[in-house]
Structure 1
Amino acid sequence: MSTTETHTRIGASAAAIVTDEQGRVLIVNPIHKPRWNLPGGRINSGELPRAALARELGEELGLKLPIGELLVHAYVENDGGGHAYYVFDAPTLTPEQQAAIRLQEDELSDFRFVRPEELDPALIPPHALAAWRATLVARREKRAQFVEVVL
């Protein structure tokens, strides 16, 4: 008797928790998605997560930031396969850095800083909310988190 295995094909993205001096979290509004997200994006073939995140922050926001420690590795399983998310810590932006943000207009329509306790579930993809909350815990406790989500 033979068995047939199906291997899941997964995508991968890298994002960052970027804050302002008041501890608010930077979120961005992607043009090609219906809800807000953390800054970052897909990891290209042959690219490492930190390098992908640094590239995305530069392309989409015009920011060149050092990428900190991994805070969360989240895996989301859905009908079509899975997606791995890597969320890294990033520095607190100074007012000058905030003023220097330049959106990549064909990718993002807006950005804002929100208090972590005011993250509106209506603005955030449902699968991302658990990862975002785990990221804030990981940052506060200085301990990486792993999150699994099944849609």
Structure 2
Amino acid sequence: MTNRKKVSVGGISFDDKGRILLVNPSYKERWDLPGGILEVGEDPVTGLRREIREELGIECRVGELRAVDYGASDWEGAEIIMLTFFVELAARTPQDFDFTDGEITEVAFHDPVEALALVTPRMSDRLRVALRMASGGEHGILVRRPLDPLADVWESAHR
């Protein structure tokens, strides 16, 4: 059996009004953070820089890691670890971005509360932790979901 684990990276960036940058991918139904899946042998910082360059046509500085999430199965059936970082973008307005490759259809800054409603529930959970709108759990950044049966077994065994 091969290890089908993937690592995805996403970047949270703000404009001068405190709004979060979201991208609207052509291949997903909901808005998302800029980022994507790491390539073989690629570290998270290099991968996030590459993804932002590919999606937005700009450079960025990768800052603090703010949320870590785990999914037992992504859209292709692989386990996935999702890392969310703060990023500082070289450009500050959507007009400065080059997203003409067809992967991204729109780019816009959204109020944080509005952004939570535009993304998937899983991404909303990560954003809440990253923005300190929700507790990150015992490790500080791990997103814990109430429907996680292993977490419930662990807690009952260690009470």
Regarding TM over 0.5, the answer is yes
Partner of 1:147: 143
Quote the Cα distance in structure 1 between the aligned partners of 2:40 and 2:90.
Answer: 30
The superposition leaves residues 100-133 of structure 1 with CA deviations (integer Å, 9 ceiling, x where unpaired) of 2111432100011011122253x31122110111
Residue 119 of structure 1 corresponds to which residue in structure 2?
115
Equivalent position to 1:71, from 66, 69, 74: 66
Unaligned runs of 5+ in 2: 134-138, 149-159
Q: Does 1:89 align with 2:101?
A: no
Call closer, same or farther: CA 1:136–1:120 in 2, change over 3 Å. Answer: closer
Rounded Cα–Cα distance in structure 2 between residues aligned with 1:110 and 1:98: 9
The answer (yes or no) to whether the contact 2:116–2:124 under 8 Å persists in 1 is no
Identity of aligned residues (%): 31
Q: 1:16 to 1:120 in 2, by over 3 A?
A: closer
State the alpha-carbon separation in 2 of the partners of residues 75 and 10 from structure 1: 10
Q: 1:59 to 1:90 in 2, by over 3 A?
A: same
| SS, match of residue 44 in structure 1 | coil
Report the aligned-residue RMSD: 2.6
Aligned with 1:59 (options 50, 54, 58): 54
- Residues 51 and 72 of structure 1, relative CA distance in 2, 3 Å threshold: same
Letter in 1 for 2:21: L
Comparing 100-109 and 57-66, the one that deviates more: 100-109
- 3-state SS in 2 of match to 1:60: helix
SS in 1 for 2:51: helix
**Cα 1:81–1:94 shift into 2, 3 Å:** closer
**Which residue of the partner structure matches residue 3 of structure 1?**
none
Q: Going by fraction, where is strand more abundant, 1 or 2?
A: 1
Shift of 1:144: 5.4
Query: Secondary structure in 2 aligned to 1:133?
Result: helix
9, 12, 20: which one pairs with 2:15?
Answer: 20
